[in-house]
Chains A and B, each alone.
Chain A
């Protein structure tokens, strides 16, 4: 386990979610779940982030923003789609303005289903993401 997975910094973006999942993400930061135990910090800034946590089914307005934020995160980076909306569009999948999941716009590494996700599931998903992060980092090193 290298330093990459010991200090994953999150960036959370709400791509037209109903806010249900977002509240659960914030709950994960509270004393009850305390994700800082794993060195996780909610940065709010793509330049600092490693793990991109996205909620919601992505509508027309935030497609470009989602793509842009993704580009602004330096490698290695992992995308976690949180909630069934983010994973597949969920109940909004058929809406005229919804793309139907984060992976229609950017590559997603970990899907965390649920409506809304439970903090435990979220933490589990992020721990999974750490594994992916580790792999990506190893791939990056190997390329050099």
Chain B
């Protein structure tokens, strides 16, 4: 059992960035096709990171080296925790801590764009928080524990009990894949404010770390979809692919969403579907 856990964690730590990078590549190619362009090679994200890694060491404040490292390490740590069937709340706590470090890196840059970027990144963390807590609460109501392990060995897939939470989850994924809203995002689209906001003053290796951390984070959020379809591997794979495609479509048809619109729309979705789901589940007395 313990060996399995360690193997799971190690596998995640190795595979997640590879898969994450590939998915980002797919995303960029697909998005280009949507815009009737050819788009970059599939491996472009890896080229980018490799290039960044070899750039000169330059920073606007040396502490950002440690902050971005902390961001990467903690994101990877949360992922490993998730992969070992660990406690969902801990995964979320450590994700929140990781993001705090990213935000601090932006604050420490002493630059106006970075500061506004940090504030907006913070907003996106705030938008996400209720959803994560509701998600954890939903898992608890279904399995009687915050451990993802219990969610995975569920006989009935979680989506039966948590359809509302799943909808909310898809809605926030747009935020987490860093594509929308355009005035927070740090994606590769040309359409954004703040010269890439929170990462605007990072360069070279720091930026590469942030990039890799994004891949990890994307994999964390995509693999959480597994929790909704536990026990049905094929179904989960299909669900993940569908959700991912859906996100790209959403991204391309709503290119000019502002952060205010995002807060309002996502929180309304959270209130209606997420809270609604938990309330219904609560009234029914949970599953356990």
Contact = CB atoms under 8 A, between A and B. Distances in A.
Interface stretch (A30-38, A89-97, A116-124): A30-38
A117 B201 CA distance: 31
A43 B187 CA distance: 10
B54 A31 contact: no
A31 B35 contact: yes
A47 B28 CA distance: 22
B196 A45 contact: yes
Interface residues of B, number: 32
A75 B56 contact: yes
A139 to B, nearest CB: 12
Interface in B202-218: 202-204, 207
Contacts of B40: 36-39
A36 B38 CA distance: 8
B32 A47 contact: no
A39 B207 contact: no
B139 to A, nearest CB: 39
Contacts of B50: 2-3, 7
A4 B51 contact: yes
A50 B38 CA distance: 22
Nearest to B113: A45
Contact of A140 (B37, B48, B56): B56
Given A7-B44, A45-B196, A36 B203 contact: no
Given A4-B54, A45-B195, A48-B199, 15 more contacts: A3-B47, A31-B37, A34-B38, A36-B38, A38-B40, A39-B41, A39-B44, A39-B47, A43-B196, A48-B207, A74-B55, A74-B57, A74-B58, A75-B58, A137-B54
Interface of A: 2-4, 6-7, 29, 31, 34, 36-39, 41-45, 47-48, 50, 74-76, 137, 140-141
15 contacts: A2-B54, A3-B46, A6-B44, A7-B50, A7-B51, A31-B35, A39-B40, A41-B188, A45-B196, A48-B207, A50-B51, A74-B55, A74-B56, A74-B204, A75-B55
